[in-house]
Amino acid sequence: MEIRNSYLAMIRAFAGGWDAMAAALGYTRDALENRIYEKKVRMHVDTALAMQKLSGTKFFAEAVARESGGTFVVLPVVDDLDNDELLTKFTQILQQLGELAKRHHEALEDGVVTDVERRDLKRIADTAHRRIEELLAITFRIYCDDESEQTATRRE
């Protein structure tokens, strides 16, 4: 999803659509349309983030991540998680990697990776990546103190 499409998707996801989203942001509908379609004024990141929050979606973050060559990962809320949760996440990751290996082999059998195969491989890899990031987030939240986690983040 490209950035402009993320704006439109957030408007569709917001109850009341264009007029309600514009009002919630303190704009007229025309002012919102001008920002989305960049007619003499550009969309500000703060406005896009407000739209994302209002719509209860992650469309903008996903579009920015994709345009940046990455994948957006929603980190899980960690309350009472333990080693069983970590084991479950590891199992899911291994299953996903097994599926990726199988589909990768099938895609290469004829020497050509079709658009459908490419999208399928990308989807599987993105899911595995998200699960790996979730596993690390859970691990760090359970087993790291806040200070060491902040220090590790600054070094990256």
pLDDT tops 90 at residue 120: yes
Taking every pair of Cα atoms in the chain, the longest distance, rounded to a whole number of angstroms, is: 56
Q: Where are the domains of the chain?
A: 3-67, 83-155
What is the tens place of the pLDDT at every residue in 19-60? 999 999 999 999 999 999 999 899 999 999 999 999 999 999
pLDDT at 85 over 90: no
In the block, residue with structure tokens 């514009």:
22
pTM score: 0.61
Q: Given this model, what pLDDT does residue 152 score? A: 52
